[in-house]
Amino acid sequence: MERRIAQYRPSNRPPAWERVADEVRLTVARAAPATTHRARDLLTALTRIAVYADQQGHPADARRWLAPAMVERFAAAGCPEVSEATRANYRACLTALRTAVFGPDLPGGRPVPLAASDASAPYGRNDTAGLWAWAGGQPTAELRNGLRLLLALGLGCGLDTTEIIPLRGPDVRVMGDGASVLAVRGSRTRLVICSRPYERTVAEAATRADTGYLFRPGCFARSSNTVTDLVYRAGRDPRVPRLVMGRCRATWLVERMNIPIPLPVLLAAAGLDSLHALSRLLPHVKGIGAEQARTVLREMP
């Protein structure tokens, strides 16, 4: 078991790994997991929170990583691309690891419900402008093009991570008026028209990709890490929120709910077959005054 822990490396090898690796391995070894499967779960969860803490500027210190407040922040905002069940599993692993290594008395409070997470809350206009400027200020063309394409596909087309990864250049069709139309692959196959501010970014990416993958055409190992690895590598700006594809899609949905557009059109464009998925976004939809509501309701046929 000790040898397996000592040889552990995450599959995506984020840039922060070399800075946190020794502390991750040492901490899990101190917990003495009974099975290889348990060791893998603990290593995965601790690596994720260690990388998250490193991005926030914290030193490689397991006591700091496993502090209850840090675990709660990580569960709420540090792994938005995974399901609630996976986040709950990460938190359970980290809590067990804290108890095994540091005992039950490491200060902290009661865990908050994961439903309190705002990881899928839409961005404000200042946030999206800041993200666009942040993406364009990255040091390499790969980062600049990749991050701006993610923003275009999320904010301009409402795609999530799993829909971005398999897209290829021929899936984008540029119309005579300049509109970019995407043929989305997978279980929610549909056509999506990119919103005007982002259509040029999508069209240029399709030209660069030719017949290859639209996002990161040179990356042939396609998984959720195809997106998260690029975001991990980007330089951070404390004035700008983290780029989270779930928040980009939420922003796209709320903007269209605020127009509003007919619900059948929105559901079709979003790849949804019911209104249930939109209910969590209702608190972010703009309200209207009583007089305006009266006028609208009265004028309905």
pLDDT of residue 86: 85
CB 231 within 8 A of CB 13: no
Amino acid at 286: K
**Up-side HSE of residue 36: CA atoms within 13 Å toward CB?**
5
pLDDT of residue 105: 54
Q: Where are the domains of the chain?
A: 2-116, 125-284
CB 209 within 8 A of CB 169: yes
**Phi-psi bin for 59: left (phi > 0), alpha (psi -120 to 50), beta?**
beta
pLDDT of residue 252: 95
Which residues does 241 contact at the CB level (< 8 Å), separation at least 6? 123, 127, 130, 131, 247
d(CA 192, CA 180): 8
d(CA 110, CA 119): 20
pLDDT of residue 50: 92
pLDDT of residue 284: 83
- The answer regarding whether domain 125-284 maps to CATH 1.10.443.10 reads yes
d(CA 56, CA 260): 38
One pLDDT digit (tens) per residue for the chain, 301 residues: 788 899 899 887 788 899 999 999 999 999 888 888 888 999 999 999 999 888 878 889 998 899 888 888 888 878 877 877 788 889 889 988 988 888 765 544 444 443 333 556 899 999 999 999 999 999 999 999 999 999 999 999 999 888 999 999 999 999 999 999 999 998 889 999 999 999 999 999 999 999 999 999 888 777 767 888 888 888 888 889 889 888 999 999 999 999 888 889 999 999 988 888 788 788 888 877 788 777 877 777 7
Q: Which pTM value belongs to this model? A: 0.62
| Total length of the chain | 301
d(CA 74, CA 185): 31
